């Protein structure tokens, strides 16, 4: 073997061992989860599943569940990380939700991904599984005419095992603290604006995924250090297998091939967006709480930037902002692609 071949073999072995380690972590961390409402016996073989970790998201939950029910999600597997706002009590009463509760460290569980990897391993095998946050809403080509099951059937037919979606931050025209969204209301009736450009893309050679940054958060909160801005690349929809594991949030997975969701030969593979309903009036108190808890990545560096920006009166809307219409608008802007899914 040449020196290059030896190096590549070592890198492959390293990734394999890392994947096995992540799966083992998830199995160990299962002990932190206490079942509140386990309805997983209701899951049918072809059901699309949605997995969520949450804390104090009671006001968002009715719209969130109804949104994904309408798309075709048949069962929700949710982890409540010690909410104090009644989230667990409300979710317990939902007939298509299986719920687990934990007061263990979010940071110590790799920001919830150990819990999610365990639930995926235990209940997700053989299913198309959508892993999102309570403020993330999937948009994909043809969604106004075709349910999510039509997309996953096409992905199956074409041999694809994963589906990417760029996180698209949505925001109001005006102060964030004035963007009041009541329980059950569509958050994008309030936060209707987004950045149509201003994104950078790099390839992560080790994992093979595309690393996307930019948009309003980088523009408003990380102006002096844009490389510290949050990652916007996500691979939320995966046909799960027992050998799979999320490596860093839903940004990338192992095995590495699951991250190769783009075409390097000049064409475009099918992709979507996750509309991100973060910037509503509740965000001010949420950022202060998360800053105190210090349970997020980099000792909550991101939330420190948000907190400082909000105190300066930062507004996200600018003259280049676009008002959201539908998936076709996002395709025209190059933010999603229907690829060869005609």
User: Percentage of the chain with pLDDT > 90?
Assistant: 83
Number of other CB atoms surrounding residue 48 within 10 Å: 20
Q: Between 297-311 and 283-293, two packed helices, what is the crossing angle to 10 degrees?
A: 140
pLDDT at res. 301: 72
Q: Give yes or no for residue 331 having a pLDDT over 90.
A: yes
In a domain, 293, yes or no: yes
Look at residue 103 and tell me if it is in a domain.
Answer: yes
Per DSSP, 32 falls in state G
pLDDT tens for each residue of 87-122: 999 999 999 999 999 999 999 999 999 999 999 999
Asked, for residue 265, whether it belongs to a domain, the answer is: yes
Tell me the sheet residues that pair with 164: none
pLDDT at position 263: 83
Residues 310, 312: Cα–Cα separation, whole Å: 5
Is 297 a member of any domain? yes
In the structure, what pLDDT confidence band is assigned to residue 164 with cuts at 50, 70 and 90? very high
CATH label of the domain that carries residue 13: 3.90.550
288 has a pLDDT exceeding 90? no
Residues 6+ apart with CB under 8 A from 193: 170, 171, 172, 173, 316, 317, 321, 322, 323, 324
User: How many domains are contained in the chain?
Assistant: 1
E-only strand ranges, 216-333: 237-239, 245-248, 252-254, 272-276, 322-323
Q: What share of the chain is helix, strand, coil (3-state, %, to 5)?
A: 35, 20, 40
**Does the residue 239 lie in any domain?**
yes
- Whether residue 72 contacts residue 46, with contact meaning beta carbons closer than 8 Å, is answered with no
Alpha-carbon gap, residue 102 to 83, rounded angstroms:
9
129-133, 173-177, 278-282, 287-291 — most confident range: 129-133
With tokens 């929809």, the residue in question is 237
Please tell me the pTM assigned to this model.
0.95
pLDDT score recorded for residue 286: 72
Mean pLDDT of 194-222: 95
> How high is the pLDDT of residue 294?
58
Residue 335 has pLDDT above 60, yes or no: yes
**Per-residue pLDDT at 336:** 97
What pLDDT score does 289 carry?
67
Domain range holding 16? 3-332
Q: Is residue 301 part of a domain?
A: yes
Mean pLDDT of the chain: 93
Is the residue at 81 inside a domain? Answer: yes
pLDDT tens sequence across 33-46? 999 999 999 999 99
CA 110 to CA 245: how far, in whole Å? 12
Q: Is residue 337 part of a domain?
A: no
Q: Residue 7 has what pLDDT?
A: 87
């Amino acid at each position: 073997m040449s020196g290059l071949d030896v190096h590549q073999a070592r890198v492959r072995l390293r990734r394999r061992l890392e994947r096995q380690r992540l799966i083992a972590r998830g199995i160990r961390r299962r002990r932190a989860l206490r079942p509140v409402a386990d309805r997983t016996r209701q899951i049918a073989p072809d059901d699309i599943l949605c997995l969520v970790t949450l804390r104090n998201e009671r006001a968002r939950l009715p719209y969130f569940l109804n949104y994904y029910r309408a798309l075709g999600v048949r069962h929700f597997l949710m982890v409540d990380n010690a909410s104090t706002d009644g989230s667990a009590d409300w979710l317990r009463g939902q007939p298509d939700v299986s719920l687990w509760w934990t007061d263990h460290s979010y940071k110590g569980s790799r920001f919830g991904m150990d819990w999610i990897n365990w639930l995926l391993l235990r209940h997700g095998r053989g299913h198309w599984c959508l892993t999102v946050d309570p403020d993330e809403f999937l948009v994909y080509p043809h969604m106004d005419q075709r349910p999510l099951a039509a997309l996953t059937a096409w992905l199956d037919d074409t041999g694809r095992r994963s589906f990417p979606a760029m996180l698209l931050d949505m925001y109001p025209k005006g102060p964030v603290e004035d963007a009041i969204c009541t329980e059950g209301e569509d958050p994008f009736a309030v936060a209707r604006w987004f950045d149509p450009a201003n994104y950078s893309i790099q390839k992560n050679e080790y994992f093979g995924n595309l690393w996307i940054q930019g948009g309003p958060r980088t523009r408003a909160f990380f102006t002096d250090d844009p490389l510290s801005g949050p990652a916007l690349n996500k691979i939320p929809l995966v046909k799960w297998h027992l050998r799979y594991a999320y490596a860093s949030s839903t940004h990338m997975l192992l095995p590495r091939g699951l991250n190769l969701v783009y075409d390097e030969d000049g064409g475009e593979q099918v992709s979507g967006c996750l509309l991100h309903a973060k910037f509503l009036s509740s965000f001010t108190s949420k950022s202060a709480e998360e800053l105190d808890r210090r349970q997020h990545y980099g000792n909550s560096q991101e939330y420190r930037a948000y907190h400082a920006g909000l105190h300066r009166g930062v507004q996200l809307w600018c003259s280049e902002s676009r008002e959201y219409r539908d998936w076709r608008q996002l395709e025209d802007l190059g933010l999603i692609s229907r690829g060869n899914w005609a």
